[in-house]
A and B are shown apart, each in its own frame.
Chain A
Amino acid sequence: MTGGARWVARYGVGIALAALVLAGAVAVPGFFTRENLTTVLLHVSINAILALGMTFVIVTAGIDLSVGSVLALAGVLAAATLTSGPVLDTVGVPGATVAAIVVGIGLGMAAGALNGAVIAWLGVAPFMVTLAGMTIARGLARLFTGGVPIGFPARDDPRFDAKVAALDALNVLGGGRIPVPGLPRGFPVPALVMIVLAVAAAFVLTRTRFGRYVYAVGGNEEAARLAGVPVRAVKLAVYAIAGACAGLAGVLLVGQLRSGGPDAGMLYELNAIAAAVIGGASLFGGIGTAAGALVGALLIGVLNNALDLLGVQSFWQEIVKGGIILLAVLFDVWTKRGMRRA
C-alpha cells in the first residue's frame, strides 16, 4: 500500500466526519449550535460505548451479536437492584445506586466472559455463539421482568420515596448534566463517560501488553500462539470487555429513562458493529482503533441529526446509513487488496 493510501486509511473517517460537520454548519439551520452538538454527543454515547467494546472483539477477528440483549438484561437487573426493598433497607439510596452499577456491569462482563469461554475453548464460531447469547439474554430479560419494564414505583409502594430517590440518583449518571460555562444546559454525563471510556480503550489497545495481544491474535492467530501469546485468555477477555461495555450502557440507559425494559437495546449490536467498521475496524481482524469506533459512532450520529433537522424522513436516514456502511466495508476490502499487491 502506498503512503497515501495508508494515510487515507488512517484518517479517512475523521476527515469524512469533519467534512460532514462542516457541511452541516453551512447547509443545515440549527445544526452548528453548542446546544445541538451536545445533544448529538448525548445521543451517540450509548452506541459509542458499545462500539468501543465491539472494537476489541472485531480486532481479534470476532463479532459479538449479544451486546444489545445483554444491555437489556443488565439494565433490568440493575433497575431491580436499584429499586429492591431489601437492598434499599440495608445500604440506603447511595449504596443501592452503587450496587445497581456494579450488578449491571458485572452481569455484562460475566455474560461476555461466558461467550468468550465458549468461543475460545470449544472453538465455536463467534457469530453462532453470540447469536445464541443474544437470544438467551433477551429471553432471560423478559422472563425476569414478565415482559414489563422495572422502574417507577406504584403510588402505594411503602418505599416510594426511597425508590424515587434511587432512580433520581442513577439519573445523574444516565441523564445528568455537568455545568460548563458557555453551555446553558451543561455537558451530558453519558457523553463524558463515553469520552473517558474512549481514552481508556485507546490506552489499553496501544499501551498495554494485553492490547498488543489483541492485535496479534486478530492479525495471525497461529503466529501469536507460536509466539507464546495466551490466545484463549485474550479471546475470553475481549468478549468480557464487550459485555462490560454493554452492561455499562444498560445502566446508563436505565438512569436516563428511570426504568429498565426487557426490550431495550434491540438491534444495538448492529449499530455498534457499523460504528466500529465505519471507524476502520476490519472484520478480517488485526485492524481497528478506539478513536475509530468513536468517530464512526459520531459519524452516524451527526448524519442522523443533520437529516432530522432537515426534516428528512427516517426511512431515508436508514438508506443513507446503509450506504455509508457499504462504503466503509468496500474501503476495507480495497485497502486489504492494495496490501496484498504491495
Chain B
Amino acid sequence: MFALEDITKRYPGVTALAGVHLALAPGRVHGLVGENGAGKSTLLRILAGAAQANEGRILLDGHPVRFPSPRQALEAGITVIYQELALIPELEADANLFLGMEHGRYGLLDRGAMRDAARETLARLGLTLPAPGVPVRSLSVARQQLVELGRALVRNARVIALDEPTATLTPGEVAHLFAQVRALRDAGSAIVFVSHRLDEVRAIADDLTVLRDGRAVWTGRAADVDDAALIRLMVGRDVEYARQPAARAAAAEPLLVVRGLSREPAFRNVDLTLHAGEIVALAGLVGAGRTEVARCLAGVDRPTAGTLTLDGRDYAPASPRAAVFRGVVYLPEDRKRDGLVLGLRVRENVTLPVLGRWSRAGVVRSGDERAAAADATARVQLRPPDIERETRTLSGGNQQKVVMARALLAEARVLIVDEPTRGVDVGVKTELHRRIRMLADEGRAVLLISSELPEVLALADRIIVMREGRVTGTLAAAGATPEAIMTLAVAA
C-alpha cells in the first residue's frame, strides 16, 4: 500500500540513508530497529515530508508521490509521532488535536464541535478530555502522547509512525499505549514502530526492518528472529577502528570512586571507579543516563544520592568551577552549544578557563598566553597549527582538538569526554582516539561516553554498560564484543 523505494539521503559529510526499502501494509505493525545513528529518524523524517530524499521514490497505492513539506504527507494520510512530542505546549488538548485541520468555516473556529469531536476521539484512546483552559504542557507525557495519537485518528491517518514512543513511559502506560496501537492496527492502519527496546518491538511488531549505518540490512517477520540474531544484525559492521592500547599500566590506587550515585529520574545507583592512566567507557544508548552521570561528576547537576571520593577525600562539587578546581574536567557532547565560543580565536578558546594563570591585575601577558596555547594545540596536533584563527572556521574534528587542548591546559586529572568524535570524519576519528589515549597515558583518568561501539572497543580498558538509568554490566576490554555490549544495552 505504501512503500519507500531505494531511498538515499545525504547530509554534508554523511550519508544518512543508502538505498533503503521499506514496504508497509494496512493492518500490520512494522518495527524499525537499529543503533543510534543507524538512520531511523532520518527515514521517519522523509516519510513525514520533513526532509526530502536525494534519491529514490515514495509509492502510495502503487503511484509515485512527493512530499515537499509535511503538509503534503499529512494530506496523503501519513502521521509521524516524534519522540520530542510536537504539541504546542500553551494550547489545549482539543486545539492541539485539530491543529492544521480545524473545524469551522470562513476561518472561524467551531470550538464546540471541536471539543465534542476531541472528547470522542480521546475516549477511543481511553483518555478524558481535560477541562477547558488546561494547556497540554500540564498533562503527563503519556497523556500528551495519546493526544498525538488522537491527532492521527482525527486525520484518518492510513500510516502512523511512532518514534521511540515508550522511552519515557511507565510499564502501565506502555501497556495502555500498546493496546491503542493494536486497536489502530486492527482498524486497518499501517503502523511503523521505532524503538531500541527489543523486547517491546518484538511484542508489538508483525514485521521488522533492521537498519545499520544507513542501510536496511534485514527485513522479515518478527517471529522469524530472536534477540541474539537481531543484535548481531544491528551491530555487525564494516567500520572498525585501530585499537589504541595503553602505553603503561594504570595506577593501582583508585582516583575517583563513585558509590550509589543517583539523580532521579535520570539514573539510579551507579557505581564506578576510575584509576589514573586508564580509559573507562560508559556505553549504552542515547537516553540511558550516561551524560546525566557525567554532569553530576562535573558539578553541573547535583545528585540526589550517592557518595564520591577523589584521591580518598570527599568530592561534592557545587559547580563546574569547583570540579575544575579539583581537577575534574568535562568535555560536553555538544561542543557548539556547551563547549566552544565559536566566534573567538582558537587561542582564546584554549585559554579561556585558565586565563587567570597569565594575568596580573586583570591584564593578560599575551606572550605567555600565546606560548601556552601554541604548546597545547601542538600536542593535540591541531591542523592548521594556527592559534589566531576564528574557531568557527575549523572542521568538527579540529574543533574537538581545541576542546582537548583546553583540557590539557586545565591540568585535568579526571577527564570526562562525551561523544568526542560525533560528527567528525572517519579518518579524523582514529587521530582523536590517539589523542585521548595520550591524555590517559600521561596519567589522567579518562571517562569516555560514546554511543559508537567500535570507538568504545578501540579505546576502553574497561566498559560499563548502562540501560535506562542503571548499570547493567561491566566488561573487561579483552573479550568484549559488540554483541555483548549491545545485549547489555538493549535487552531486558
A residues sitting closer than 8 Å to B (CB atoms) are 1, 207-212, 215-216, 219-220, 222-230, 286-287, 339, 342
Contact = CB atoms under 8 A, between A and B. Distances in A.
A342 B108 contact: no
B87 interface: yes
Nearest to B72: A228
Contact of B100 (A219, A222, A227, A342): A227
A69 B80 CA distance: 45
Given A223-B87, A226-B82, A342 B109 contact: no
Interface of B: 48, 50, 69-71, 74-75, 80, 82, 85-91, 95, 99-102, 104, 107-109, 111, 137-138, 151
A339 B135 CA distance: 11
Given A227-B99, A228-B70, A228-B74, A220 B87 contact: yes
A339 B139 CA distance: 12
A61 B89 CA distance: 14
Contacts of A226: 48, 50, 70, 80, 82, 86
Given A212-B95, A212-B102, A286-B90, A225 B70 contact: yes
A215 B48 CA distance: 23
Given A219-B90, A222-B86, A209 B70 contact: no
Nearest to A340: B137
19 contacts: A207-B108, A209-B102, A209-B107, A209-B108, A212-B95, A216-B88, A216-B91, A216-B99, A219-B91, A220-B89, A222-B86, A224-B99, A226-B80, A226-B82, A227-B86, A228-B70, A287-B90, A339-B137, A342-B137
Contacts of B104: 209
A13 B130 CA distance: 26
A127 to B, nearest CB: 18
A208 B104 CA distance: 9
With a 10 A CB-CB cut-off, give which of A209, A220, A230 has the most chain B CB atoms. A209
B107 A208 contact: yes
Contacts of A225: 50, 69-70
Nearest to B82: A226
Nearest to A206: B109
B88 A286 contact: yes
A212 B71 contact: no
List of 4 A-B pairs having minimum Cβ-Cβ separation, nearest first? A228-B100, A223-B86, A219-B88, A227-B100
B307 to A, nearest CB: 27
B109 A215 contact: no
With a 10 A CB-CB cut-off, give which of B71, B85, B88, B102 has the most chain A CB atoms. B88
A229 B111 CA distance: 18
Nearest to A229: B100
Nearest to A228: B100
Given A228-B71, A339-B137, A286 B50 contact: no
A290 to B, nearest CB: 16
B37 to A, nearest CB: 21
A207 to B, nearest CB: 6
A286 B69 CA distance: 23
Contacts of A208: 107-109
Contacts of A216: 88, 91, 99
A207 B111 contact: yes
B101 to A, nearest CB: 7
A150 B90 CA distance: 46
A9 to B, nearest CB: 11
Contacts of B87: 220, 223
A218 to B, nearest CB: 8
Contacts of B95: 212
Nearest to B102: A209
A224 B108 CA distance: 19
A210 B107 contact: yes
A279 to B, nearest CB: 16
A1 B138 contact: yes
